[in-house]
Amino acid sequence: MDLLNKNNKDNKYEIITSLGNLEIELFVQQAPKTCENFLAYLQTGCYNSTSFFRIVTKKHPQLHSNAKIEVIQGGPKYGDNGHDPARMLFPLPHESTQQTGLKHVDGSLAMGRFSPGESYGGFFFCIGDQPELDYGGKRFGDGQGTAVFAQLRKGRSVLTQIFNCAEANEHIEKEISIQCIRPL
């Protein structure tokens, strides 16, 4: 993939938000298929003019799971008016944390999913360590967890500022704009 390695040897990308910028580094060696999927969405412009639209805190009921987590979710919203299901890029091999050795630690970036191997382009940052999202964790009934593919390298204060925008509901009304994601 053109954005992977050729033009961006360090595999670093910048997420431009209305509250500041976040720099991430992709784990292309450990999670190559998930990184390719993320970059395919990036190349189609799928992340332009999206938002961080969901902030999950331990204060939220999280009724669909016994394992509470804290994450910030962004990118396209599944099923939203602006989201084109025909552009969904799945199935893809599910690269579990058992396979990659990557864990849901503070600042890690993982691909959103419903079932293993589904990808609608949404992603989330972990706030604090979230082992219940790892392989064998209790967040998903299948125990497969989600696929970690990147890590925050700069902009921790911006990520904290976004997390502090949490509202009474997980899906926030005052979304935080993602202008674009671009290679560094």
Reading the block at residue 124, the tokens are: 């989330």
Residue predicted with more confidence, 152 or 46: 152
Reported confidence tier of residue 129, pLDDT bands at 50, 70, 90: very high
SS3 8: coil
Task: Give residue-wise pLDDT tens across range 154-170.
Answer: 999 999 999 999 999 99
The reported pLDDT for the residue numbered 2 is: 46
Q: Which long-range contacts (C-beta less than 8 Å, at least 24 apart) are formed by 8-15?
A: 8/183, 8/184, 10/184, 11/35, 12/153, 12/183, 12/184, 13/42, 13/150, 13/181, 13/182, 13/183, 13/184, 14/181, 14/182, 14/183, 14/184, 15/74, 15/155, 15/178, 15/181
Task: Give residue-wise pLDDT tens across range 72-111.
Answer: 999 987 655 445 555 566 567 789 999 999 999 999 999 9
Residue predicted with more confidence, 7 or 136: 136
Delimit the domains of the chain by residue range.
Answer: 12-183
Residue predicted with more confidence, 7 or 55: 55
CATH superfamily of 12-183: Cyclophilin-like (2.40.100.10)
Rounded Cα–Cα distance for residues 37 and 34 (Å): 5
Write down the mean pLDDT value for the chain: 88
Task: Give residue-wise pLDDT tens across range 40-64.
Answer: 888 888 899 999 999 999 999 998 8
Q: Pick from 149, 113, 109: which is nearest to 130 by CA?
A: 109
The reported pLDDT for the residue numbered 52 is: 97
